[in-house]
Amino acid sequence: MANTGETRRETDEFERLRERVTLADDDREAISVVAPFTGEQVGTIPAGTEADVADAVERARAAGERWAERSPEQRAAVFEAFHELVLDRQAELLDVIQTETGKSRLHAFEEILDVASTAQYYAERGPGLLAPSRREGAIPLATRAEEHHHPVGVVGIISPWNYPLALSISDAIPALLAGNGVVFKPDEHTSFIALKALELLVEAGLPEGLCQIVTGRGDEVGPPLIDRVDYLTFTGSTETGRAVAEQAGRNLIDCSLELGGKNPMLILDDADIDQAVRGAVNGSFTNAGQLCLAAERIYVHETVAEAFTERFVAATEDLSLGVGDDWDIDVGSLVSADHLAKVEAHVEDAREAGATVLAGGEARPDVGPYVYEPTVLTDVPESADCCREETFGPVVSIYEVSSTEEAIEKANDTEYGLNASVFTGDGERGRAVARRIEAGTVGVNDAYAASYGSIDAPMGGRKQSGVGRRHGSGGLLKYTESQTIAEQRTGPMAPPASLPNDWYARLMTGFLRVLKRLP
């Protein structure tokens, strides 16, 4: 992908995919899309406008009304077919992901796993979750109560650049299965993978027009999208998430927000050190640290700190850096020059504040224009930016602690609460510690993949890391309006005309006491 011929092929493919962008008319500024592997332009996307958003929502709403008439089983069949297409055509998807993000092939493959697993899970479980269900009525035998789920209408999805396939399509699958139309606003760095995935969805049987994609800058496309949709899903920074939530609140629409994190990893005194090192490498440097769930703070017990640190630094220095589609590359590129500058600034600030760099700490332009070495810091003072702010790069800090209590206290000493992990030789102990950590997901003897990959369980943040959940039943039903239908078989629940009100009150009081005694 890094040579001129391959770049030209990618450009041709991107120009073809560009035709799927929703435009109210053709007169739009072109935004350049740059490949991090080379720093070269590989395509352009149109800078969408409010008119484009209005047109996209209108089209999705019209298509959604017809789509909602299909049974959940009929809708699920589309995602069963999509599951197979994603696996069969993964090479095409991986090429686009890598071209836009610069991540290694193995880390791009995580997105394939996520989307395929999500499609299969909801195709299998979705129809049952959406089926009408009986609820306990007000009066046994006399009241029949049912819960029904209806589509909300049009779902807006604003997705980030770091996992552009997983964090757009995996959120869209349950929204579509619930019977909604969808309008995407992908990040301007990574719009083409959303367009490619939409192409496969249509090939799998999704009706044309049901999914719309409006490309462009967030501050120009995001606000008009929130003003027009019936539900909003956003993944991004906490700062932007607050603005999104405020606008959604004014419009009285519900929203789901996965925001920032400063995720801790705890290495307890009984941890298997080799296992902990593997987990720390994976948790800190997957996608060059550009992962919302990545570990940025490691709290290691003093009795194992020396052994862990020595092996972790050695494993970090052994990682291979590279750009391209070689499966043997361990760590790829950062996404842009601006992001590289932020990572460099965090490390330099830590150095100046007195931190020690144990591994890495330098940009590698000899490998790629935005490549930065996996970096391990220690002695990081509270005053350093990277102590509390999210770096979102291949940088992790080690802190020695004297007890499990101290580790838990320091892990919770943050405004964020997205993900955490605990390494220990005792699973029961690990789960007990995990319950005390203020994070939406906590892995025991795993950094993030086990908890995120458990799609039947909810995933989301606490504190300033967001609201709402993806995955599980809630990840589907949040895209529906629940409706209760209650039939009273004995006539209206009101005092009979012949019965005095005080007698009715005594009768109902006795009835409630009898109900309490029933099994």
DSSP result, 279-303? HHHHHHHGGGG--TT-EEEEEEETT
Tokens for 256, please give them.
């789901």
- Catalytic residues, by residue number, are 258, 292
Tokens for 100, please give them.
């836009």
Q: Are 262 and 390 in contact (CB under 8 A)?
A: yes
- In this structure, whether the domain defined by 4-259+473-477 belongs to CATH 3.40.605.10 is answered with yes
Q: What does the pLDDT look like over 89-116, one tens digit per residue?
A: 999 999 999 999 999 999 999 999 999 9
- For the beta sheet containing 143-151, the strands, ordered from the edge strand earlier in sequence to the opposite edge, are 133-135, 143-151, 480-488
Q: State the pLDDT confidence band at 10, using cuts at 50, 70 and 90.
A: low
Least confident of 128-137, 296-305, 497-506: 497-506
Flag whether pLDDT at 8 surpasses 60.
no
β pairing state of 375-378 and 356-359: antiparallel
Q: State the pLDDT confidence band at 344, using cuts at 50, 70 and 90.
A: very high
β pairing state of 30-35 and 40-46: antiparallel
Mean of pLDDT values over 321-336? 97
Flag whether pLDDT at 187 surpasses 50.
yes
Strand partners, 143: 488
pLDDT of residue 330: 98
- In this structure, whether the domain defined by 263-457 belongs to CATH 3.40.309.10 is answered with yes
Mean of pLDDT values over 51-74? 98
Least confident of 8-22, 55-69, 226-240: 8-22
pLDDT of residue 253: 98
The percentage of residues in the chain with a pLDDT greater than 90, rounded to a whole number, is 92
Q: State the pLDDT confidence band at 4, using cuts at 50, 70 and 90.
A: very low
Mean of pLDDT values over 434-448? 98
pLDDT of residue 260: 96
Q: Are 416 and 260 in contact (CB under 8 A)?
A: yes
pLDDT of residue 12: 82
Q: State the pLDDT confidence band at 9, using cuts at 50, 70 and 90.
A: low
Q: What does the pLDDT look like over 34-46, one tens digit per residue?
A: 999 999 999 999 9
Which residue spans of the chain are classified as CATH 3.40.309.10?
263-457
Spatial separation of the C-alpha atoms in residues 424 and 403, rounded to whole Å:
13
Mean of pLDDT values over 461-481? 98
Q: State the pLDDT confidence band at 2, using cuts at 50, 70 and 90.
A: very low
The percentage of residues in the chain with a pLDDT greater than 70, rounded to a whole number, is 98
Q: Are 147 and 483 in contact (CB under 8 A)?
A: yes
**DSSP characters for 124-151?**
HHHHHHHS-EEE--SSTTTEEEEEEEEE
pLDDT of residue 515: 86
Which position has the higher pLDDT, 496 or 271? 271
Q: State the pLDDT confidence band at 251, using cuts at 50, 70 and 90.
A: very high
As a whole number, the mean pLDDT across the chain is 96
Least confident of 60-74, 352-366, 504-518: 504-518
Which residue spans of the chain are classified as CATH 3.40.605.10?
4-259+473-477
Q: State the pLDDT confidence band at 7, using cuts at 50, 70 and 90.
A: low
Strand, helix or coil for residue 5: helix
Flag whether pLDDT at 454 surpasses 90.
yes
Flag whether pLDDT at 284 surpasses 60.
yes
